[in-house]
Chain A
Amino acid sequence: DGGITQSPKYLFRKEGQNVTLSCEQNLNHDAMYWYRQDPGQGLRLIYYSQIVNDFQKGDIAEGYSVSREKKESFPLTVTSAQKNPTAFYLCASSTPRAAFSMNTEAFFGQGTRLTVV
């Protein structure tokens, strides 16, 4: 079945360590996104990518890094520079915009819950 797979579902990290969250999609979508969600809060955009080998910073990119070497994959690295990384991380993908159309809803993975111990 087509969809977006995030792994792992739960992740524990020691302070000072980098950790990479996986996101893979087989929907043939060009655009991919990473969001952070804190308890009871909305989704904040970390990074997004419209095409392979290109990505843009979102609203809270500091302390995070991404790569987009393949269309199917958009891994997120939470670096030691991220001061408060404990959160729920959601990956999403969508098709590129058709001419004059914004009708490209994002499909989401199940999320990764990261806890710093």
Chain B
Amino acid sequence: AQKITQTQPGMFVQEKEAVTLDCTYDTSDPSYGLFWYKQPSSGEMIFLIYQGSYDQQNATEGRYSLNFQKARKSANLVISASQLGDSAMYFCAMRDGGTSYGKLTFGQGTILTVHP
């Protein structure tokens, strides 16, 4: 069964500094995709970045990058040059290609607070 773990309930960062949000996963399927979403206090879910299990390079999208360590089964999100608007809940999610294909599983989330 697939499982996603986010061990940091809350993180604090100073504006303009970088922050890393941790995510580890567990799956027996060799084909899977990892996603990060942002949820502001309004409740909407905003897709940030994707990493495929066969991708050779770490994914990047603007200020977001994914530190993908396949052997360790970790997919940490790095936010560079934090902004006040980055304060939100962040979720890591995974879809694998096994018998539960299509099932998109989320972690517990990390609340990020950016201080001025």
* A interface, CB within 8 angstroms of B: 31, 33, 35, 40-45, 48, 50, 56, 58-59, 88, 90, 92, 94, 97, 100-108, 110-111, 113
Number of A-B residue pairs, CB cutoff 8 Å, is 72
Q: In the complex where A33-B104, A41-B108, A48-B103 touch, is A92 in contact with B32 (Cβ < 8 A)?
A: no
Which residues of chain A come closer than 8 Å to B52, judged between CB atoms?
A: 101-103
Chain B residues at the A interface, C-beta cutoff of 8 Å? 6, 31-33, 35, 43-45, 47, 50, 52-54, 91, 93, 95-97, 100-109, 111
Q: A45–B104 contact, CB under 8 A? A: yes
Which residue from B6, B33, B43, B103 sits with its C-beta under 8 Å from A104?
Answer: B33
Contact between A102 and B97, CB atoms less than 8 A apart: yes
* Alpha-carbon distance between A45 and B111 when the two chains are bound, in angstroms: 20
Q: Which residues of B contact A92 (CB under 8 A)?
A: 45, 104
- The smallest beta-carbon distance between A26 and chain B, in angstroms, is 18
Q: Is the CB of B47 within 8 A of A105?
A: yes
**Within the complex, what minimum Cβ distance (angstroms) separates B35 from chain A?**
6
Q: Could you tell me the distance in whole angstroms from the C-beta of A31 to the nearest C-beta in chain B?
A: 6
